Amino acid sequence: MKIVLCCAGGFSTTMLMDSMKKTVKDSAKLNEADFEFKAIPVDLLNAEVENTDVLVVGPQIAHKIDYIKPIIDPYKIPYVIVDKETYGKMDGATVMKMALIARKKADMNK
């Protein structure tokens, strides 16, 4: 599963991505080999949209969802917008759970 984290610049999102990777690594249920993570600025989304399974949107670019949706909708990519509190805590476990639920819901609606 390819999870793309999208933000304004990339630094803090890389920290969140590392927290998500650690969640997968420490999990008894999830397998590291099943996941690929990428943190990108929103401006590069067009280049990364193919083969993305879930898009994680940082709170600092939530206002850009009208820019993001036309890019991801043709690919039927589910997305989650991380709230400021979860993002501030760099809570990779919660974000990972949100991403997996979004993917599962999208698969059920196929």
pLDDT tens per residue across span 77-108: 999 999 999 999 999 999 999 999 999 999 99
Number of domain units in the chain = 1
Strand segments, DSSP code E, in the chain are: 2-7, 36-41, 54-57, 79-81
Q: Per the residue annotation, which of 6, 7, 42, 57 is the catalytic one? A: 7
Contact indicator for 1, 27 with CB cutoff of 8 Å: no
Contact indicator for 16, 90 with CB cutoff of 8 Å: yes
Question: Residue 7 catalytic?
Answer: yes
Measuring CA to CA, how many Å separate 10 from each of 14, 28, 78, 89? 6, 29, 20, 16
Overall pTM surpassing 0.75 (yes/no): yes
pLDDT digits (tens, 9 = 90+) for 31-56: 999 999 999 999 999 999 999 999 99
Q: Any idea what the CATH number is for the domain that residue 22 is in?
A: 3.40.50.2300
Residues spanned by the domain of 55: 2-108
Lowest mean pLDDT among 2-6, 9-13, 90-94: 9-13
pLDDT at 11 over 90: no
